[in-house]
Amino acid sequence: MNYFIELVVSGLAVGAIYGLVAMGFAVIYKATGIVNFAQGEMGMLSAYTTWALATTLGTGSVWTVLLAVVIGALLGLICERLIMRPMLGEPVLSVVLVTVGLAVVLRSVVTIIWGASPHKFEVAGADDIVRMGDIGLRVSQLGVLGALLLAVAGFWYFLGHSRFGVAMRAVAADEKTARLMGVSTARVQAVAWASASGLAGLAGALFAVIYGLTPTVFELGLKAFPATVLGGFDSVLGSGVSGLIIGVFENLVGGYLSSTLKDVAGFTLILVVLMVRPFGLFGEKRIERV
């Protein structure tokens, strides 16, 4: 029984990281209708930049987290302004392919600047153990769970109760009508990219603190993608919750079946779920009249 609980708890920790990245996928899709395949790479570059600055400045744990969010948001704004905004009005496939190219470029930038060697992302107190009965958790693992809860609560309020959140939902529902009502599509897109990249930066930094910093951090995007599909591309909060489901499911498969099946467990789960609910667990069913 203890082994099962350990798998679930550790799965929740890694699932929280998936959830943060998955929420970023959903935010951009909800505001622009495209999938950003550079989400994992943006988290990787943010994590490396945060590590470099934190190592130089010697920031504490809270400031390191805030630094990761700010760096991620700035990176998102830069990419949106220089690369994505000129693509407004272009076919969706062309825009998606641009994000694929952006992913390759960001991956190469990290390797050129910092190399391929792993680094230890040390944050004071992150490796301290908190005992919960017979289960021991690192402070960093509890921290990432807390970060996901704060992100879910924050986006729940932002999307449902703020004027700009309502504007973002209006653009997602009907972009042309939203423009006629005076909503700035470009501004909504900029905020969406900054928010999504900030979430990716936070996830990348927390992952690096727990598991180490290597160029393979970009794989978080691939790992988190099933959570977005499972939750529903139009459900930001559902994507966050689905990250926890994917993390626990992967851990249980790896612990009880085979570690080689762990990497495909998430994709297998979404295949099964989508056959029953094609719009995801929390996505809205769309009815189209022809």
pLDDT digits (tens, 9 = 90+) for 75-131: 999 999 999 888 877 888 898 999 999 999 999 999 999 988 898 888 877 777 887
Ramachandran class of 263: left when φ > 0, alpha when ψ lies in -120 to 50, beta otherwise: alpha
Distances from the Cα of 109 to the Cαs of 23, 83, 105, 113, in angstroms? Answer: 25, 16, 6, 6
Kindly report the pTM of this predicted structure.
0.91
Question: Please, what's the b/e burial string for 253-278 (b: 16 or more CB within 10 A of its CB; e: otherwise)?
Answer: bbbeeeeeebeebbeebbeebeeeee
The C-alpha angle with vertex 145 and arms to 144 and 149, in degrees rounded to 5, equals: 115
Residue 263 half-sphere exposure toward CB, CA atoms < 13 A:
5
pLDDT digits (tens, 9 = 90+) for 239-274: 999 999 999 999 999 888 887 888 888 888 888 888
- Domain coordinates in residue numbering, the chain: 18-217
Which pLDDT does position 285 carry in this prediction? 65
**Predicted confidence (pLDDT) at residue 201 exceeds the cutoff of 90:** yes
Among residues 132, 122, 138, which one has the least CA distance to residue 59? 122
**Predicted confidence (pLDDT) at residue 14 exceeds the cutoff of 80:** yes
Q: What is the mean pLDDT of the chain?
A: 87
Which pLDDT does position 286 carry in this prediction? 60
- Residue 272's contacts (CB-CB under 8 Å, 6 or more residues apart) are none
Q: What is the DSSP string of the chain?
A: -HHHHHHHHHHHHHHHHHHHHHHHHHHHHHHHS---TTHHHHHHHHHHHHHHHHHHHT--HHHHHHHHHHHHHHHHHHHIIIIIGGGTTS-HHHHHHHHHHHHHHHHHHHHHHH-SS-B----TTTT-EEEETTEEEEHHHHHHHHHHHHHHHHHHHHHHHSHHHHHHHHHHH-HHHHHHTT--HHHHHHHHHHHHHHHHHHHHHHHHHHH-B-GGGGHHHHHHHHHHHHH-TT-HHHHHHHHHHHHHHHHHHHHHT-GGGHHHHHHHHHHHHHHH-TT-SSPPPP----
**Predicted confidence (pLDDT) at residue 288 exceeds the cutoff of 60:** no
Distances from the Cα of 234 to the Cαs of 73, 86, 145, 229, 283, in angstroms? Answer: 21, 24, 23, 9, 6
Q: pLDDT category, 18, cuts 50, 70, 90?
A: very high
Q: Could you tell me whether strands 129-132 and 135-138 are parallel, antiparallel, or unpaired per DSSP bridges?
A: antiparallel
pLDDT digits (tens, 9 = 90+) for 38-91: 999 999 999 999 999 988 877 677 788 889 999 999 999 999 999 988 887 788
